A and B are shown apart, each in its own frame.
Chain A
């Protein structure tokens, strides 16, 4: 490459990432507002009637806030795990924390606790996520690397997955099993402000912890030993990642059920736009994840307002074609 070409494309620090992050933030903002304005009861801001006001503050507002928080944190956790494991196919579910939350919630339905009081379901989910995180920490032990963490995560995922199907299998009646299944598919409908108060602090705290890992993830680009030489404490990093994921993804899954593909697809798609840098990918994935979940949720309300199609199903339906496209693109690049 000639000197002239090299200097013509001289990057200023932050040149590529800032517009990308700002653009994604704008898209997420628009999707958030759309989420407030769209619903089966009509489109627009509430005016006059008490009922319209109730719909806005009790139904649409919590739904929009949860969509933004949950989407953002799923995207972020995916970006952190992909950076930590240096594997573009990693996703938050890999650690077994969302599986633990799902098991906790299913047990809450199974035991009838959720019928007794509504918040038993998310509380059960939180307990499940916490137990899964503790089990992973114990299994992975001290002073070990990403590989041990993955193995521990896979072990916990399969265990909680098996226990969840057992709970379904032993469900007391068909209604309970349908309720469990539907919950597992992931949704934001009928969530109240109480759900927001329960989940938001945990999601924000967990996300804040995950956002501190950016530099360490950058350093890991060079491998474990070079990263350590650049000041990364491997055990501290792993503990921050597990704790942050447990808080954020655990709380997200506890209120929404399993919303798949967001943590996998969002960082994967955005990575080239931020020059593949793990640190810059983190804020981009927050906004990208929020935009995806909010858009999917708004789309669901616009196109299938009264159907029972679940949000988790929609994100998977949107996510899978993206992946197909990626496969075809990669094949074309690598092919003869």
Chain B
């Protein structure tokens, strides 16, 4: 069964510079896992490794028992959906067409979209609340609307693992919460979400586990309450932070940078 995505002692060098070393993470279906850390800590690189887009120089990434490098690109696209941080859309396609690109790994080489494809597209657009502008070209949308459209594209892929790089950045509070509610729903229906985040309160509230990276290495990994402590946050981000419970919800509040 392909119900785990496992990185083991992963190391990556980019143009001679070490950006990741010895990072391990096992993600099971049903989980939401946050990857957090300061800018340049290696979050994006690690997510690319988890999605099979970047081959690590050390260590392995396995989907179930199979190394990602053994899977062909289209099969990988059906198992792992990847949402890049870069939200550039190069041509002003309509929203529906753009979301439809998520079906490419499922479609036969020449055939048009099947009924299953069309259904997946509509469902993904409904989940991300973009049906109202389904026929508009993406270049006319606001930044947050475009972010939701791109998320819908990744959802339309209907992969069991979603690897999303800062998907909540730029979303208004309502749509940020909708996004995480969608992640919770996916986890409940036996998918897994691996998400890079800067909003630590969202990580604390919605994620089952948190991987905290610093300078390309894992500083801590575990349930949010054990990772998101003032000491760890001071070490990873160089900030003084308060971790509190408000109305029963965990809140991580950065106070000031440490001198």
Interface residues as binary, B48-68 with A (CB distance below 8 Å gives 1, 0 otherwise): 100101000000000000000
CA distance A106 to B88 in the complex (A): 43
Give the interface SS of chain A, mostly helix, strand, loop or mixed. Answer: loop
Closest Cβ–Cβ distance, residue A329 to chain B (whole Å): 15
Question: How many chain B residues touch the partner (CB < 8 A)?
Answer: 42
Pick the contact of B101: A6, A14, A86, A222 (CB < 8 A).
A222
- Nearest-neighbor residue (CB-CB) of A281 within chain B: B91
Q: Does A166 contact B (CB under 8 A)?
A: no
The distance from the CB of B73 to the nearest CB of chain A, in whole angstroms, is: 5
Would you call B94 and A1 a contact (CB within 8 A)?
A: no
Cβ contacts under 8 Å, B101 to chain A: 218-219, 221-222, 230
Give the residue of A3, A226, A275, A278 whose beta carbon is less than 8 angstroms from that of B94: A275
Q: Is B86 a contact of A276 with CB atoms below 8 Å?
A: no
A232 sits at the interface (CB 8 A):
yes
B-chain residues with CB within 8 Å of residue A276 when the two chains form the complex: 91-93, 137
Contact indicator per residue, chain A 269-293, by CB within 8 Å of chain B (1) or not (0): 0010001111000000000000000
B48, B86, B97, B104: which contacts A230 (Cβ < 8 A)? B104
Contact A232 to B73, CB < 8 A, known contacts A13-B113, A221-B89: yes
**0 or 1 for each of A1-42: is its CB under 8 Å from B? (1 = yes):** 101001001110110000000000000000000000000000
Count, chain A residues at interface, CB 8 A = 29
CA distance A86 to B90 in the complex (A): 6
Asked, given contacts A218-B101, A275-B93, A276-B93, whether A223 binds B86 with beta carbons under 8 Å apart, the answer is: yes
Chain A proximity mask over B73-84: 1 for CB below 8 Å, otherwise 0: 110110011111
Q: Does B131 make an interface contact (CB < 8 A)?
A: yes
Shortest distance between the CB of B97 and any CB in chain A (Å): 6
B-side contacts of A221, CB under 8 Å: 89-91, 93, 98, 101
Docked Cα-Cα span, A233 to B91, in Å, equals 20
Q: Output the nearest chain A residue to B82 by Cβ-Cβ distance.
A: A229
Report yes or no: A225 in contact with B53, Cβ–Cβ below 8 A.
yes
Contact B73 A86 (CB under 8 A): no
Quick one: which of A13, A86, A226, A228 contacts B91, CB cutoff 8 A?
A: A86
Residues of chain A within 8 A (CB-CB) of B90 are 86, 220-223
A113 to B229, CA, bound (A): 81
Complex A-B, nearest 9 residue pairs according to Cβ-Cβ distance, in ascending order:
A231-B74, A229-B82, A86-B90, A276-B91, A230-B104, A231-B73, A231-B77, A231-B105, A221-B90
Residues of A at the B interface (CB closer than 8 Å) are 1, 3, 6, 9-11, 13-14, 86, 215, 218-223, 225-226, 228-233, 271, 275-278
B contact set with A: CB distance below 8 Å: 48, 51, 53, 73-74, 76-77, 80-84, 86, 88-94, 96-98, 101-102, 104-105, 107, 109, 112-113, 118, 131-137, 150, 153, 157
A-B contact pairs, 21 of them (CB 8 A): A1-B133, A11-B94, A13-B112, A13-B118, A86-B91, A220-B90, A221-B90, A222-B89, A222-B90, A222-B153, A223-B88, A225-B86, A226-B153, A229-B76, A229-B77, A229-B80, A230-B105, A231-B73, A271-B91, A275-B94, A277-B91
Q: Other than the known A86-B90, A230-B157, A277-B97, what 17 A-B pairs have Cβ atoms closer than 8 Å?
A: A1-B133, A6-B131, A6-B133, A6-B134, A215-B109, A221-B89, A222-B90, A225-B48, A225-B84, A226-B82, A228-B73, A229-B82, A230-B102, A231-B77, A231-B104, A276-B137, A278-B91
